[in-house]
Amino acid sequence: MTGSESANRVTVLNDANETSIMPRTTLRSHHLLSIGDLDSDEINLILDTAEAMKEIGSRTIKKVPALRGKTIVNLFYEPSTRTRTSFEIAEKRLSADSLNIAVTGSSVVKGETLFDTARNLEAMAPDIIVLRHEASGAPHQLAGICRAGVINAGDGMHEHPTQALLDGFTIRAHKGRIEGLKVVIVGDLLHSRVLRSNILLLRELGADVWVCGPPTLMPQGIERFGVHATTKLDEATEGADVIMMLRLQRERMQGHFVPSLREYFAVYGLTVERVERAKPDVIIMHPGPVNRGVEIASEVADGPYSVMLEQVANGVAVRMAVLYLLAGNPDEM
């Protein structure tokens, strides 16, 4: 057999020179920088692989040798609870040698740049660098100078690809599909990297995506990404299959974007009454951290429709899948 690769599929010629199209079994890049770099086959490959990884997490001994002998550096320039912890657990479950570099305990505080830090880490031959950075595009620049694979664990206001993948995995687990679902994303749209990655993923997989927030937090021209945009929460949540709430990112705001948190909650906070406009089997999502009483009422965050802790649990399986597909030994599962 001979084969060639198109943008989306692997084309295979069999012995009779007939062509057949097979779903992808590998990713085209050894980096994960943006959801926009993945086609729908690659996204589905990651989500399918994550199903197998989730099974590993349910075993008594939650460890396989798929990344034995591989070195992974987790380099976080911004605070993180869920992403950093779940990458670390994923790396341990796959038997990688991993280390965490907290910027406050590194030579970054002495003025070393990201590039010099990366070049020095690179000299120690890691296989993967997982980077969270406050600057949009920092992982792309790192990928340009490193032999190691680079995973974007959140760059400024730009993207958070593994969050969108775990969100897609969670939606698929509840709804059995993503295509055709009404997915509503509400809150601080302007500063959200989770929004950007989710729009790319959900549109690639055929969801009907709505975004909703105050005019001051609505990115100009967002409809260009194939989404419906509204400032009216009741219009957005009407008949929704999925409601994803985003927090106000006050650490990225210069100036006042909302009159007060109390007034923001009154207009855009998700309450039990507002959830009732959605489909009866709606799921409520949030990437965390949650600001209770600002974007969401506690009764909703802790209520029967909330899948927030499932999102966190699925983050481990999805990050295992990404690490495995970028650097794993297929014979060592």
Residue 288 Cβ vs ligand CP, minimum distance, rounded to whole Å: 5
Q: Which of 139, 154, 214, 269 binds ligand CP (CB under 6 A)?
A: 154
CA–CA–CA angle 191, 197, 203 (5° rounding): 125
Q: Which is nearer to ligand CP, 66 or 87 (CB)?
A: 87
Q: How far is the CB of 114 from ligand CP (least distance, A)?
A: 19
Minimum CB–partner distance for residue 15 and ligand CP (Å): 49
Question: Which range in 96-104, 244-252, 258-266, 286-294 contacts ligand CP by CB under 6 A?
Answer: 286-294
- Angle at the Cα of 252 from the Cα atoms of 243 and 154, rounded to 5 degrees: 65
Beta bridge partners of 76: 102, 132
Assigned token pair, 152: 């974007």
Q: Which is nearer to ligand CP, 24 or 76 (CB)?
A: 76
Number of residues that bind ligand CP (CB under 6 A): 10
Among the listed ranges 110-118, 140-148, 263-271, 287-295, the one in contact with ligand CP (CB under 6 A) is: 287-295
Q: Which structure tokens are listed for 154?
A: 């959140």
User: Rule CB under 6 A: is residue 156 a binding residue for ligand CP?
Assistant: no
* Residues 76/153, Cβ–Cβ less than 8 Å: yes
Residue 125: CB atoms within 10 A of its CB come to 9
Which amino acid is present at 276? E
Helix (H/G/I), strand (E/B), else coil: 327: helix
Which among 36, 34, 59, 45 is positioned nearest to 9, based on CA atoms?
45
Name the segment binding ligand CP (CB under 6 A); options: 201-209, 210-218, 225-233, 283-291: 283-291
Quote the CA–CA distance of 284 and 305 in Å, as a whole number: 6
| Comparison of 130 and 258: residue with beta carbon closer to ligand CP | 130
Which residue, 307, 330, 308, 320, is CA-closest to 62?
Answer: 320
Q: Of 163 and 170, which CB lies nearer to ligand CP in the complex structure?
A: 163
By CB under 6 A, the residues from 163 to 192 that bind ligand CP are 163
Closest to ligand CP by CB, 49 vs 162, is 162
Residue 41 or 167: the one with the smaller Cβ distance to ligand CP is 167
Note whether 287 binds ligand CP by CB under 6 A. yes
Q: Token pair for residue 219?
A: 């990115």
Least distance from ligand CP to the Cβ atom of residue 163, Å: 5
Residue 252 binds to ligand CP (criterion: CB under 6 A): no
Which is nearer to ligand CP, 173 or 290 (by Cβ)?
290
In whole angstroms, what is the distance from residue 270 CA to residue 277 CA? 11
Q: Where are the alpha helices (DSSP H) in the chain?
A: 40-57, 82-93, 114-122, 138-145, 161-175, 193-204, 233-237, 261-268, 272-275, 298-301, 308-327
Contact flags string 50-89 toward ligand CP, x per CB under 6 A: ------------------------------xxxx------
Query: Which residue's CB is nearer to ligand CP, number 66 or number 308?
Result: 308
Task: Give the span between the Cα atoms of 9 and 15, in whole angstroms.
Answer: 19
Residues found near ligand CP in the complex (CB under 6 A): 80-83, 154, 160, 163, 287-289
